[in-house]
Amino acid sequence: MIASDVVYLKVDDTNRAKFIETGSVPLKPFKSNATVFSFYNIPAAILEDSEAFIRWA
């Protein structure tokens, strides 16, 4: 998913910790404080490294 030029991947209990450990943040699709904890942004370092991105996806 792409929102405001940020790429997000769907996460679940099996991989959420990996995203949090790297500083990823959950999707906030609206200006309100509503947060979607099933999507986290992909860290820039992962997006820039195709091998790492494949492992994350």
How confident is the model over 1-56, as pLDDT tens digits?
Answer: 888 888 899 999 999 998 999 899 998 887 777 888 889 999 888 889 999 888 87
- Nearest-CA neighbor of 15 among 33, 39, 34? 39
User: Could you tell me the two tokens for 56?
Assistant: 């994350």
Taking the C-alpha atoms of residue 26 and residue 54, their distance in angstroms, rounded to an integer, is: 20
pTM for this predicted structure: 0.78
Concatenating the DSSP letter of every residue in 1-57 gives: -EETTEEEEE--TTTHHHHHHTT--EE--SSSS--EEEEEEPPHHHHT-HHHHHHH-
Domain segments of the chain as ranges: 2-56
